Each structure stands twice: as C-alpha cells, then as structure tokens.
Chains A and B, each alone.
Chain A
Amino acid sequence: MRPSMRLPFREALYVCSNCRSEAPRRISPLARQIRHYASDSPSVLERTRSSLWKGNKAPGPADPYTGESQLVPGAEKGEGDLAAPAEGEELQDGSAYVQAQTWDGLKRIGHTKEQVWKFNGRSPVDEYERFGADVTPKPIPAAAHQAAVEISLMAMLGKDLASVSEIGEHYEQIQELIDGCAVGSSETQQWNTGLRFPDQQTMEALIFVFNQVGVQTEKTIESPETFISQEKTSAEAPRDLSLADPVVKFAFIKRFSQLTGRRIPDAAITSSTTVGEIIASLSTALKEKPINVSKKLARQASVGALPPNIQFSKKRLSKGDEDESLGRKKAIYTELIRRGLIVRKQRGNKNRTIEKATGLEPEY
C-alpha cells in the first residue's frame, strides 16, 4: 500500500503497518541541522546569536539589556521587598507576628502607586464636568467679539493667552465693559494693539480684572490714550482678524468654543486663517431636534387650541390602560387580589400599588 498522499507521512493520523515499515525514517529539519553542525562548528545558539547581532561581536550568553537576572539564586538577598526571607527568619520574629485578618495594611502587588485611587473608590473630585459647562452658550457673533476682546487684552498685558478660558463667565458689570470694547480691523496682524476702549475708566477696570487672570501681574499700559476710541465701537469682531499665529489661534478657538458651547470641527480649525472663516464654519445648521408631540400637544391644550375629543399620553398605552378606560381594571385587580395571585404593595410609589403576579395558577 502506498503511503497517504494528502498528508506528509509524519503528520498522518493513521498509517497502516505496511506503510510504516516501508517508509524511510524521517528526520525533522531541526534535528538534521543540529546533527549537521554537531562537529566542531559553533552551537545553534551561538550561530543564532551572531546572526541576530550581525557580526562576530555577539555579547555572549549574558542578557545585555536588564543585567543580571533577578531569578538567579542568592542575588540581592534581603535588599528587595519581594526577596524571600531566609529560613528561620520568620520564626525569630514570631513574637511580634500577628496574623492578618483582612488585607488592609498589607503590601499589595499588581498595581502602581498611582492607581491606588482606584481602590479607594469614587470621590467628589473624580466627578467629570464637560468643557464649557459653566458658561451659558452665547450667539456666535457675541461669542466671537468677546473672545477677540479678551485675547487682545491678554496680548496687551503680555500674559498667556489660553488662560482666558479659566475665567468661565464674567460678572454682569464686567461683561458690559467687554461688550463696550472693540477690536480694530486695521491692525489685523497685531492682537496686542488692535483693542479699543470706549473710555479711560473701562480700560483701567478691564486691565485690573485681566491682571488677575492666570499668573497675577501688575502691568500697566504705556501711552493708554492710543487705545481709547472716540468713535462708537462696534459690537462685532472684525472678520479679517488674523489667526496665523498658532498660539493666538489656539487661545481664540478654545475660548470661542467655550463661549458658544459648540465643538468646532478639526477641518475648520486647520483650514481657517481668520476669525471670519471660523465663524463661517459654524454657520451650518445644527441637527434638527425631534418633535416631542406630547409636549407640543400639551402646550396647545394649555392655550385651549385643542378640541376636547383629543386625548394624548406621554407613554405607550398598555392593556392595563385599556382595561381602565373600559372600567374593568378595578374588577380584575380586586379579583386577582382575592385569589392571592398578586400582592398589594405596602410602601412605595402611589401609582404602582400592585406588585408583579406571584405566578400561581388561578383557581377556577
């Protein structure tokens, strides 16, 4: 009988005795290689090592990366925390030894020191609040104007621009002062010289407030009269304000996103070079919210716009509602309670006085 053609002789699950005796003895490729190099040539490990290190300067059998192995018996005995105590050491300390009942206070393995908080559980500081949650969303033009004014002020004071976002929402009086300022469009490249205040008092107040933001400073402005505008200031940010400087761009977009409460697409951030382009990227309509029919109908009913033959409900009508509308719900539940098939709840929600059925068969 010929040996199996489908599988190699060595891998066949069953080979008849005839084939077994006729087949030549097969030697695995690895064994053949070992036998081939077994004479005076270097060992397989040596050759593999030299091929890995590409040359004759293989570092030898010692591990070149981590030094001496920690598993070597007798290495650094007693130094490491995990080192096993010597035999009899436990017995010597036996007098002070107290057997632990719980794992509190014992050394732990399996996590780093930074992960200890996971074991301590959740605390109030772990609560997450999304970026911009402390700011009431503003319309896009107002937000752009405020962000431009604030960043110009920070640039005038020579402070970190992005720290404007730490402020959140201003007090009403300060907000009015900011709304009264304007950023000139002529100095499109220089944010530190484009701001115009309506009067001297406003400028002093705002400079005092913004000196407190981030790292506190006492910087004053030289030649303040150049920043005071006699004309009526515009309440909108000029659209050609440049965002070429990446620091300004980052600070503006961060503050603008915080004030509008909207996420600005990455593509818009990358491609925009002026304030106007950022504003244009947000002009797309937001996804339409679904109509809440029950709310709308409730509003119409409250003003008497609904005829009396319309009934509406917030939730899906169940069979129980159908029974109730037909006036048989009370009779059904009374009978079920009498037969002991459902149990009346003692406490809890008023609307749910009935618990689930106990699963008993009704008595007929």
Chain B
Amino acid sequence: MPVKGIRTVTAARNGVGAFILQCKRLDFHYCNFGGSSRGMLAFLTQTLPRFAKENPQIEIRVSPRHQKHPMIKGQYINGNEKSICVRNLEPEDILKKAMILKDASGDKLKRTKKPITSLNESVRGIWSPYHGDLRGV
C-alpha cells in the first residue's frame, strides 16, 4: 500500500471561514449620583442603544453600583474577564473603551519580544537530536 502524504489543509483559525467574536458580554456599571458617572449616564442613555444595535452578538447588561466609579466589564468565551474603569470620561471616550473590550480576544496581554510572530510552522522543521548527521568532536 503506497504511503500517502497528508494533504495540507487550511489551519482552523478564527476569521478563516467564520469569525466568532470572542467577547460574549459587556457589563456597564454606573452610579446615579456620583460625579464621575456623568459621562457614563449620558453614554448609557444616548450612545448605548446604537452600540448594542451594531453588535447584536454581544449581550449587554446595565446595572447600578452606588458610590462606585463607573466601569465596563467584558466577559469572553475563554472564561476570562476584563474590566476598564471609565470614571470622569466623556461618552466618546467611553465608546472607545467599549470598542477595546469588544475587540479584545480575552487572552492575557503578552509582551512581544520577537520582531515577527507567526502561527505557521517553520520550513526547516523542529530540530531533533536523533536525526541528521553525526558529528565528531
């Protein structure tokens, strides 16, 4: 039986074929009386309906937290949670923060040390001590 090589297929990656948004829920917390929530109150009553309409795949929950600064919390499908404090921010800035949470993958932030990052395998393959020529010292 002839050996048959495995046919290379496209690696399963988010966005290839289908894209699944990683953010599944956004929680908006505000205080009705706190001065730092002024921008948040305006955002919730004016901007949020449009934002929610543009992102129907995200569940949005609005709930008060008295005597606390306003906050946006993002829940991701990998189980992680990210939160951003939006105290004293204007509605436009709060929208930017909400977009950051919406676009985030949910992974922890990592420092990139190498100039190039890729998911592709190396052409040379992984080095193995059991393969290749024997070299004398």
Contacts and interface: CB of A to CB of B under 8 A. Distances in A.
User: Do A and B make up one complex?
Assistant: yes
Interface of A: 290-294, 296-297, 300, 305-317
Contact of B45 (A297, A314, A316): A297
A193 B6 CA distance: 110
Interface of B: 30, 32-33, 41-42, 44-45, 48-49, 52-53, 55-66
Given A293-B30, A293-B41, A312 B56 contact: no
Contacts of A308: 56
A294 to B, nearest CB: 7
22 contacts: A290-B32, A291-B42, A293-B32, A296-B44, A296-B45, A297-B45, A306-B49, A306-B52, A307-B56, A309-B55, A309-B56, A310-B61, A311-B59, A311-B61, A312-B63, A313-B62, A313-B63, A313-B64, A315-B63, A316-B65, A316-B66, A317-B61
A312 B62 contact: yes
A317 B65 CA distance: 8
Contacts, number: 65
Given A309-B55, A315-B63, 6 more contacts: A291-B41, A306-B49, A308-B56, A310-B52, A310-B61, A313-B62
A43 B49 CA distance: 94
Nearest to B55: A309
Contacts of B41: 290-291, 293
B49 A310 contact: yes
A309 B60 contact: yes
B34 to A, nearest CB: 9
Contacts of B63: 312-313, 315-317
Contacts of B48: 310
Given A290-B33, A290-B41, A293-B44, A305 B62 contact: no
A297 B45 CA distance: 7
Contacts of B57: 309
Given A316-B63, A316-B64, A317-B63, A307 B45 contact: no
A300 B49 CA distance: 9
The 8 closest A-B CB pairs, nearest first, are A312-B62, A291-B41, A307-B52, A307-B53, A317-B63, A313-B63, A310-B60, A296-B45
B59 A305 contact: no
Nearest to B65: A316
Contacts of B30: 293
A308 B59 CA distance: 9
Nearest to B62: A312
User: Which of A290, A293, A317 is the most central at the interface, judged by chain B CB atoms within 10 Å of its CB?
Assistant: A293
A310 B30 CA distance: 15
